Amino acid sequence: MCVLGQDLAQPETDADPWPASALFREDGDATGAGVSLMEIARLYGTPAYVVDEADVRQRCRDYLDALPDATVAYAAKAFLCRAMASWVREEGLGLDVCSGGELAIARSVGFPPERIIFHGNAKTPRELREAVEMGVGRIVVDNLAEIHRIAALVPNGRRQKILVRVIPDIEAGAHPKIRTGGEGQKFGLSIATGEAGVAVSRVLEQCNLELVGLHCHLGSQIGSAEPYEQAVKILVEQLALIRDAHGVALPELDLGGGQGIAYLEGEHGLSPRAFAAAVTTALTERCAGLGLPAPRLTVEPGRSISGPGGMTLYRVIAVKRGGGRVFVAVDGGMSDNPRPSLYGARYTMRMIGRRSHEAPRPVTVVGHHCESGDVLAEDVLLPADVRPGDLLVVAATGAYHHSMASTYNATGRLPVIAVSGRRARLVVRREEPDDLLVREVGL
């Protein structure tokens, strides 16, 4: 197993966790895309997600600019709603989906099916049928049983393009629970055991399936290009072995996503340009060394496109002391952001809406759920006079917040407000108790 750490030298990275348009004034006022965050809280209530549309669109363009000869597919699992799917479509990216629900959202906005890549380690028969019927561009095979299931669904006269997801045995990512490139986890087909090779042979035997390449995904919140370079070398070697064994040069190589972003001030993410320079060089050199034509590269960024453009607004409900700590309780929590509980994720927070002359002190920001683990942030510096009614804003919440939200304690999920050009508009409404009761069909 190849275990790769984070590169301390971070060329061309972004150390600011806030959207480029975020402004904080000395009087306490704060804006995103020219829109007052306090006014958003007044009009739409709290807690609420705010997404800077221009920031998201610019990050889409940054990837296309950095990788002009590659396919860039946005990873929908990071954050998806109809508005987001439309922005991605309009910017010319593909879309990586991993469920029938994500596929339905894509369909609802007319996303071109040929630009969709369908993932998943346990796709249901219904999901596979919907994907084939819709005509998605690629289905990523993640287990041997899928091969015959997909082949049986493809109508005569058609060929479904297939990628085989392999395990390069590279551990990368910010937390063990979000590392997906090593042996011993549920994703992909093992190169080491020969299962990946069996999958390749079986796909090639199916006349209505077209094997176009290999796929891998290393993990999430990866801060260095080094793991991707290693993955390129391993997968290109597999492409050469396939050429030698089967006489075919597969034309595509999908490296997945996982590029990291800054969550704390002074923290670094992996920029599209630094990532692109490293992987394209590795691809060119390794292919040349093996006498293999360079395949078309596909990448699937998710967090690094939607994450930095998102912010979350909370209202302080209570402040109390205990056990030598100061607890600031807010009106949201683990139902709208489970990442601190799941992975120990850390965030940048600020108090906005008024000017404080008090020095900052470390506090623990907690949610309103009946769980001792419902902690949003520890040792956050907030003004010593923070009090009920104050407004807090959290940076870099555009990925894996809305998409992982729950209704724990029968708490409705948050609205999503898009800001752009000094205007705010509601793109996902707040989930109310009546929405939860709609699913109740009897006693």
Q: What are the backbone angles phi and psi of residue 226, rounded to the nearest 5°?
A: -55, -45
pLDDT level of residue 12 (50, 70, 90 thresholds): very low
Q: Can you spell out the DSSP letters for 16-80?
A: --S-TT-EE-TTS-EEETTEEHHHHHHHH-SSEEEEEHHHHHHHHHHHHHH-TTSEEEEEGGGS-
Q: pLDDT at position 219, please?
A: 85
CA dist., res. 253 & res. 167, Å (int): 13
Query: Average pLDDT, stretch 352-364?
Result: 95
Superfamily of domain covering 53-304: Alanine racemase (3.20.20.10)
Which position has the higher pLDDT, 192 or 399?
A: 399
Largest CA distance in the chain: 73
User: For the segment 228-279, what is each residue's pLDDT rounded down to a tens digit?
Assistant: 999 999 999 999 999 999 999 999 999 999 999 999 988 889 999 999 999 9
Q: pLDDT at position 270, please?
A: 93
- Check pLDDT > 60 for residue 411: yes
Question: Which residues of the chain form CATH 3.20.20.10?
Answer: 53-304
Q: pLDDT at position 102, please?
A: 98
pLDDT level of residue 442 (50, 70, 90 thresholds): confident
Distance of CA 394 to the CA centre of its chain: 18
- Check pLDDT > 70 for residue 345: yes
- Check pLDDT > 90 for residue 5: no
Q: What is the DSSP letter of 429?
A: P
Which position has the higher pLDDT, 200 or 220?
A: 200
Q: pLDDT at position 443, please?
A: 84
Give me the CATH code for the 310-432 domain, please: 2.40.37.10
pLDDT level of residue 343 (50, 70, 90 thresholds): confident
- Check pLDDT > 50 for residue 179: no
- Check pLDDT > 80 for residue 333: yes
Q: What are the backbone angles phi and psi of residue 435, rounded to the nearest 5°?
A: -65, -40
pTM, rounded to two decimals? 0.93
Distance of CA 32 to the CA centre of its chain: 22
Tokens of 68: 């002009």
- 370 flagged as catalytic: yes
CA dist., res. 285 & res. 376, Å (int): 45
Query: Average pLDDT, stretch 28-37?
Result: 96
Average confidence score pLDDT of the chain: 92
Query: Average pLDDT, stretch 160-187?
Result: 71
Tokens of 231: 């993955």
CA dist., res. 260 & res. 266, Å (int): 14
Question: Which residues of the chain form CATH 2.40.37.10?
Answer: 310-432
Query: Average pLDDT, stretch 217-230?
Result: 90
Q: CA-based angle 83:255:230, to the nearest 5?
A: 145
- Check pLDDT > 70 for residue 183: no
Catalytic entry in 60, 216, 287, 370: 370
What residues are paired with 296 via a beta bridge?
252
User: For the segment 105-126, what is each residue's pLDDT rounded down to a tens digit?
Assistant: 999 999 999 999 999 999 999 9
Which position has the higher pLDDT, 3 or 210?
A: 210
CA dist., res. 414 & res. 371, Å (int): 19
